[in-house]
Amino acid sequence: MPDQHRVTGRAARTPRSLPRRLARWLSSVAMAGLVAACAAPPPAQTPVERGRYLVESILGCGNCHTPKDARGAPIDALNLSGGGVRINVPPFTVTATNITPDRDTGIGRWTEAEIKRAIVEGMRPAHGRLANTQLAPVMAVGFFKALLPADLDAVVAYLRSVKPIRNEVALPVYRARVPFDTYPDAETGFTAAQMSDPVQRGKYLATIGHCMECHSPAETKGHTDYTKLGKGGRGFNASFVEGFPKEWPGAVARNITSHRTAGIGTWTDAEIKRAITQGIARDGRKLQPPMGFSYYARMTAADLDALVAYLRTVPPQE
């Protein structure tokens, strides 16, 4: 029995019943449709989707605002309900607050404008607990100021969409007013047009991710020394940071400049990405919190590429 579906090395002939001109037209229409489908951009994210991505990845909000289990892993069922870390230093003692929409213990009574004000200005609303007081400077307001308007809207949209969880954490104790550090790149700001440039996009991500807050050394008065951007050396230990496993040895933020020996100048892209997302150093050592590796592991490949592209440009510091 002849194989009616057999096709030779040449294109199959047009059936005699179909005029060739019509066949050519149909073929061109089909090809145009295929090209258009391949070229079509992916569906745009909704504000809530974009906000979820930012909050649960590069911003790493849950690294402080989500309770942790005995192993130090975030408890998903209590996401963003507060109590992830407690910091006790001379100027203040603060426990990361509940930022779910619970109306009594969270931010459910806050307006969108009030949430934005807290994120980029570091001020509580003019109502409720500790009305009109400044948040502790562990909130990276000086970095979050860089958030593009659409991204800030998205973050607020997501925070208002998460499950409200009743979880009352201890009120902060403020013993001295400490001004927020000013981060140069956040002060300069970014534009949406810059996001098509991988280095600028990486700089934006590093800024809103407040990478240099930890990876730059502190001055004698406790403020960050951004003249030594990325040099590292800031220490974290259980004497003032609570919320990590009892066996946590503490950590010292390393040099992430392009210096070839003191920094990461000779690391491959893959090695840098592994350190960011898995907490494994170039030599195989396990890196320590407070860096939120599990959050950065949720970043897209394109955003990780951009972040690495930016880190390559950070001037070397020894």
90: buried, middle or exposed (CB in 10 Å: 19+, 13-18, 0-12)?
Answer: exposed
Residues 85-123: tens digit of each pLDDT = 999 999 999 999 999 999 999 999 999 999 999 999 999
125 Cβ partners below 8 Å, 6+ apart? 110, 111, 114, 117, 118, 131, 132
Residue 177 is predicted with a pLDDT of 87
- Per-10-residue mean pLDDT of the chain, 318 residues long, equals 41 46 47 41 82 98 96 95 96 97 97 98 95 94 98 98 97 92 95 98 98 91 88 93 92 97 98 98 96 97 98 97
State the amino acid at position 232 in one-letter form: G
Q: How far is CA 285 from CA 11, 44, 247, 258, 307, in A?
A: 58, 39, 16, 20, 22
- Give 68-76 contacts, CB < 8 A, sequence gap 24+: 68/243, 68/244, 70/245, 71/245, 72/244, 72/245, 72/248, 72/289, 73/294, 74/294
